[in-house]
Copies of this chain bind each other. A is one copy, B any other.
Amino acid sequence: MPIGDSDFEQVLRSAVEEAADARCPKLLAAALHHSVFPGGARVRPKLCLAVALANHCDAPALAAAAAASVELLHCASLVHDDMPCFDNADERRGRQSVHTAYGEPIALLAGDALIVSAFALLARPQLPAKNRLSQLMRVVAEGVGAPCGIAAGQAWESEPVVDVSLYHRAKTGALFIAATAAGAAAAGVDVAPWKLLGAKIGEAYQVADDIQDATSTPEQLGKPCGVDVALNRPSAVSELGLEGATHRLRELVEEGVAAVPPCAGRAELQEVVRQQAQRFLPKVCAPVAA
């Protein structure tokens, strides 16, 4: 999926630079850059772009904005999730987490500002296909707010009784669903059929994350591990065992591949899903059958 990646990174950078311009307090500006660059695997925005591409999207600038918006929201969630009242993680992507580097107030505000930037980005005056904006905003918002987005997902961790399925779907799945639906919305096609693909990939990603958390060292991950066990969180590994979790992961990837709706670039997108899956499959797993 080479087309669009560099455009998307450029849009992402311009969004951060706009928020962190000369008028922005310096610590906040630095924290905004730190939150987004250098990035992780950019799995969600790439998925969003791949869906737009598979639908022969005639508004690539809107697709790039949608992808960057999803990534800004992902970064915001990481910044807040690392804070002391949640994971209390000192490290992220192999360096200091935002609150460790800039303090809690700035981390909280950086997350807030990134959420706002994600929506501001979609509303840029020069973007095409304004008639798609409303739908695009809705699917993006669903992925991050309440009742079923990331904020709700993290909030399940404060409940005495957790609905594990709702928890995972909200905390991890929702933004993958937003990514595929946003790609469809940017292309101007019906978003509904694209949500299952996002849900399957999100579920796979969650299982992969559980496996990594259980089997890696902090050096390998660039962040603390064993967190699920330490915080007594539900995990596919504690539920199914390592082998069972790995088996479930493979199933989910293939279910994702099968869930790609009919579209002009279906076969290519299915290949992208398999390839991207390789990137987040833990080292313990052999490649997924192509």
The interface of chain A, by Cβ under 8 A from chain B, is 18-29, 32, 76, 80, 83, 85-86, 102-106, 108-113, 115-117, 119-120, 122-125, 127, 130-131, 133-135, 137-138, 141-142, 144-149, 151-152, 154-159, 166
Taking CB atoms, residues of chain B closer than 8 Å to A83 are 108
Taking CB atoms, residues of chain B closer than 8 Å to A130 are 130-131, 133-134
Is A149 a contact partner of B116 (Cβ separation < 8 A)?
A: yes
Taking CB atoms, residues of chain B closer than 8 Å to A24 are 146-148, 152, 155
Task: State the copy count for this chain.
Answer: 2
Secondary structure at the A interface, as helix, strand, loop or mixed, is helix
Is B108 a contact partner of A80 (Cβ separation < 8 A)?
A: yes
Contact (A152, B113) CB under 8 Å given A146-B28, A159-B25 = yes
Smallest Cβ distance from A37 to chain B, in angstroms?
15
Partner of A23, one of B22, B124, B147: B147
Partner of A112, one of B27, B112, B137, B138: B112
Is B109 a contact partner of A151 (Cβ separation < 8 A)?
A: yes
